[in-house]
Amino acid sequence: MQKIGMPKSRTEAFEKYGFTAANCPVRDVMDQISGKWSILMMLELMDGPQRFGELRRRVPDISQRMLTQTLRDLQRDGYVNRTVYPTQPPAVEYALTDLGHSFMKPLVALVDWSARHHDQIREARMAFDKVAI
């Protein structure tokens, strides 16, 4: 039974706080962080600051262009800080910000959940694909 004054749906709850489909915080955050490389970069930076070359070695299947773009996107959203050191050649280091660190707890929980349930998900996909054909 619905309590008096409680929203009837998530949409109504979001609208109560001024959110619409166009400015939904969940969509906005998930659109940015759910890219193929964003989560991997954040997980790599969880262990501490890394230089660009080290990140490239730790995730060898990412292109230099995509690594650069992913780090820029994470920096733009405030998850990652970029520090340039005045050496010859300049050394650039990437590190999680306080916001980035605050995201690690739910992110690690998602990674753990994914690892525990990946076999089930793959089996469900194969079963669905057999029926869908």
**At 96, which amino acid appears?**
L
Domains by residue range for the chain, with CATH = 35-132 (1.10.10.10)
What is the side-by-side order of every strand in the sheet holding 50-51? 50-51, 91-96, 80-85
pLDDT digits (tens, 9 = 90+) for 78-108: 999 999 999 998 899 999 999 999 999 999 9
Compute the Cα dihedral for 44, 47, 52, 55 and give only its sign. Answer: negative
Cα separation, 69 vs 27, whole angstroms: 20
Whether pLDDT at 64 is above 50? yes
> pLDDT-based confidence at 72, cuts 50/70/90?
very high
Cα 44–48–49 angle (5° rounding)? 90
Residue 5 is predicted with a pLDDT of: 60
Query: Model's pTM, two decimal places?
Result: 0.78
Cα 12–17–22 angle (5° rounding)? 75
